[in-house]
Copies of this chain bind each other. A is one copy, B any other.
């Protein structure tokens, strides 16, 4: 263990993990804190929710990832307060931990934009537990409808997804495939062709920041595959078994909220003015203007481009931010001046389903269809943590592509973490998505 200054990193997502790794040979002592003992590859959560990958294929124990890093300690726990003046953080169990440098990388939670009922009744897709429990809930709906076909009329097999960004698009595409290719064979006694996936989008287009060609291809492909896409549509209220769109009502037991995110509640405890989505304004080097020893990276950071536009909340922003602040810390320790963070847009991709995706790469290169899908596959395999995970994910995908089957449809809900229970009430809390007695 090094005896240098202590760097505390909050969050073992893409940003925190990258920052920790990039400090491996720095003369500092790193303490990484996360409320889970595992890192989750968030961009593939929708594949866990749609029974394509297992939880273990997109998650890895943090201690396992960093076990060779000598200047690092991991602490399982939840940070509840930050004392910027005295430079210490307090965990939920009361432990106080002092720091010389603090890196805030806790990511985001769902943003309900004040729509009533979302917090109580919607499903989210921000954590492994939520993905597993959405999968279990969907399977439970099919089992319930199998036992009592009348439930079909009550929307048991209707899934409504709010939000036509990448998460909503990818999940909608994956779910129609799960229903039409897999569950239709599992539940021969049910008219699975009547199962509905409804994708709602507030704006006039899906995948707002993408090129109109990509948007049009996405819309066309989703519709061809059976997704009911409804643009210019606003959710006004959510009940346990109903979603209200102004005057119209859709009967459903499954509303998935992919309409927006806001920074972790930790942002609000900083006592600073926040931007849209509760992001924390930062100086050019990603530190806080009045607290140069405190850095904010990833989705919580309100870093912006030269035109003053907030950077997109994607994995690359967190990864590049983690690398950047590690470099700045090294520079400071050597007495060198700070450098401004420059986000390099490596492009964005969204999978619509089997052999169909859109990709917008640097230099204006755009792909769609099979080539975009292959590029997506390749890049995601490349980035997945750990050789073993990559290999089994490749096997899973290959097996599913060839057999049209999915191996992981266990109805086996996970216990939400205390934080997940606290950030919401209702469906995912004490109540498990097991089948209920009637």
Q: B-contacting residues of A (Cβ < 8 Å)? A: 36-38, 54-56, 59-61, 63-64, 67, 73-77, 92-95, 128-129, 139, 143, 146-147, 185-189, 386, 388-389, 391-392, 395-396, 399, 405, 407-415, 417-418, 430, 432-438
How distant is the Cα of A391 from the Cα of B37 in the complex, in angstroms? Answer: 27
Given A37-B410, A407-B64, A414-B413, verify A388-B399 contact (CB < 8 Å): yes
Contact of A67 among B76, B139, B186 (CB under 8 A): B186
Among the listed B54, B187, B395, which residue makes an inter-chain contact with A54, where contact means beta carbons less than 8 Å apart? Answer: B54
Contact A412 B128 (CB under 8 A): yes
Q: How far is the CA of A67 from the CA of B128 in the complex (A)?
A: 28
Compute how far the CA of A64 lies from the CA of B417 in the bound complex, rounded to whole angstroms.
30
Tell me which residues across on chain B come within 8 A of A432, comparing CB atoms: 415
CB distance from A109 to the nearest CB of B (A): 18
A418–B435 alpha-carbon span in the complex (Å): 9
Q: How far is the CB of A388 from chain B (nearest CB, A)?
A: 5
A53 to chain B, nearest CB (A): 9
Distance (whole angstroms) from the CB of A23 to the closest CB of chain B: 17
In the complex, which of the residues A93, A391, A396 has the most CB atoms of chain B within 10 Å of its own CB atom?
A: A93
Q: How far is the CA of A76 from the CA of B412 in the complex (A)?
A: 13
A75-B146, A388-B399, A405-B64 known; A414 vs B411 contact (CB < 8 Å): no
Instruction: Pick 15 A–B contacts, CB within 8 A, sort by A.
Output: A36-B411, A56-B410, A59-B410, A61-B186, A63-B187, A73-B189, A75-B146, A77-B435, A128-B410, A128-B412, A388-B395, A388-B407, A412-B415, A413-B414, A417-B434
Contact status of A418 and B434, CB under 8 A, knowing A407-B60, A410-B59, A411-B38:
yes
A421 to chain B, nearest CB (A): 9
A391 to B, closest residue via Cβ = B395
Measured CA separation A437–B128 after assembly (Å):
22
B407 touches A76 (CB 8 A): no
Residue in B closest to A143 when the chains form the complex, CB atoms: B76
CB pair B417–A414 under 8 Å, yes or no, is: no
In the bound complex, residues from chain B placing their C-beta under 8 Å from that of A415 are: 412-415, 432-434
What B residues does A76 contact at CB under 8 A? 143, 146-147, 411, 435
